[in-house]
Amino acid sequence: MASRFILRNAEPKDVSDILRLIKELAKFEEMEEQVVLTEKELLEDGFGEHPFYHCVVAEVPEEKQTPEGKVVGFAMYYFTYDPWIGKLLYLEDFYVMKEFRGYGIGSEILKRLSETAVKCRCSSMHFIVAEWNKQSIEFYKRRGAADLSHEEGWRLFEIGKQSLIKMSAK
């Protein structure tokens, strides 16, 4: 069915598709109401003077497209820094529409990202996965990923806007 597809860098015209897929992934993670990002912000933040992220999209030919369009998967990433080893590639979101899975789109996206990481002199690629998401954890572990929370004890913390305002006012 969807055996033919292409991967390409996202363009400004893709922002509505990207937001659609972001919401689909958030729904799967049971946190749909937490998506407050708009198309306007995605456009400004990804394609403005200072891009905050990079994006790769998977597209199927016209005859395979859904009512929503030809873009059926995406990965959003950016570069981070580890003071021990230098540049890293951080994978923020990675999603393929349910009906287009099983055709290798996810694997191809991951390979392309790792190629980008190696080309850009990144020592590794980091990302977070929810511990109940066994399917995704297996997908990554099969390809050689290490669970640093499990192996080294790292816990992810966050300080939200209200606490930040309080802290910066002192």
Partner 1 sequence: MKYSIRSARAQDCRDIERMIMELALYEKMPDQVKISHKELERDGFGPNPFYQCLVAEVPEERSSAEGHTVVGYVLYYYTYSTWSGRCIYMEDLYVMPQFRGEGIGKALMASVAKVCREQQCVRLQFSVLDWNKPSLEFYLSKGAQDLTDKEGWHLLRFDGEALESLAEEAP
Residue placing its CB nearer to partner 1 in the complex, 1 or 165: 165
Q: Is 39 in the site for partner 1 (CB under 8 A)?
A: no
Query: Is 83 near partner 1 (CB under 8 A)?
Result: yes
The residue count for binding partner 1 (CB under 8 A) is 72
- Decide if 87 contacts 79 (C-beta within 8 A): yes
Window 104-123: residues binding partner 1 (CB under 8 A): 108, 110-112, 114-115, 117-118, 123
**Residues 2-21, mask of contacts with partner 1 (x by CB under 8 A):** --------------------
**Interface positions, 132-151, toward partner 1 (CB under 8 A):** 132, 137, 140, 143-150
Of 4 and 52, CB closest to partner 1: 52
Nearest distance, CB of residue 170 and partner 1, angstroms: 6
Where on the phi/psi map is residue 30: left (φ > 0), alpha (ψ -120 to 50), or beta? Answer: left
Query: For residues 2 and 100, what is the distance between their CA atoms, to the nearest angstrom?
Result: 6
**What are the phi and psi torsion angles at 75 (to 5°)?**
-140, 130
Task: Provide the b/e sequence for 4-25 (b: ≥16 CB within 10 Å).
Answer: ebebeebeeebbebbbbbbebb
